Amino acid sequence: MTDRSRSGGARVHEAVRTGTKVGGFLPSADRRLTVLSGPSGVGKSTVVAELRRAHPEVWLSVSVTTRRPRPGEVHGVHYFFVDGEEFDRLVGAGELLEWAEFAGNRYGTPRDAVLEKLAAGVPTLLEIDLEGARQVRRSMPDALLVFLAPPSWEELEKRLRGRGTEPEDVIARRLDAGRVEMAAEKEFDLTLVNTDVKDVCHRLIALMTDPLGVTTTTNREV
Ligand code: 5GP
């Protein structure tokens, strides 16, 4: 039995929690954490929905948000919808792995659920914004950060407006945030261009389940 396998879930759990190395390397569970980011409207939630349908072996973290539910969104499935007071409590209690404010609302990743899945070796995906991705980069340096890019800026704007779920001022804020997110693409390990949802899912799954891909990837379009 290797030192690594003997270390057990608790040690990995602790190492993942603190972002420290176990015996000179980060625990393998850390490498199973993938972060998907990209500008609002690029189609992250469509990709996540397709993953949920086609790849139940991947665990998708359910975020907490102060945003109101959109039609069809279900509490506990798409988000945990909470008020500002509850969000403050979660932040204060250190229950969020990362959190950020985005276009007037707050969003965060419940820490324990993620750490439990990682400790169990389950491929885990976070769909979060740029600020959140940067926080994960700092606390879990071996996580794979994937940037989902639109085929073009015009296409992004079209998708965001076409969704028809937000008023113009919210769309404007999301487009502003989108410009900042697009400029940060190079901070990510690699970029997937969302021309076809099934194709993106296929590539994402390959990356998540191929540990070698994690160590050899650089930022490039795949
Ligand atoms: P939406 O309101 O469109 O569902 O999400 C707005 C933005 O918040 C998206 O960029 C989405 O990726 C991001 N987001 C969703 N959940 C989280 C989270 O837990 N943490 C962070 N930092 N961003 C999140």
Residue of 98, 102, 161, 179 with the most ligand 1 atoms within 8 Å of its CB, for mutation = 102
Contact by Cβ (8 Å): 53, 163: no
The CATH number of the domain covering residues in 16-61+121-221: 3.40.50.300
**Which residue from 194, 202, 205 is spatially nearest to 45, judged by alpha carbons?**
194
pTM: 0.82
Q: Mean pLDDT highest for which of 8-17, 91-100, 171-180?
A: 91-100
Query: Would you call 29 helix, strand, or coil by DSSP?
Result: helix
**Over the stretch 143-197, which tens digit does the pLDDT of each residue have?**
999 999 999 999 998 888 887 778 888 888 889 989 999 999 999 999 999 999 9
Domain boundaries, the chain: 16-61+121-221
Strand partners, 106: 101
pLDDT, average across residues 99-105? 94
**C-alpha of residue 127 to centroid of ligand 1, in Å:** 7
Residue of 73, 80, 90, 128 with the most ligand 1 atoms within 8 Å of its CB, for mutation = 128
pLDDT at 142: 86
CA-based angle 172:173:176, to the nearest 5?
90
Q: Is the pLDDT of residue 130 over 90?
A: yes
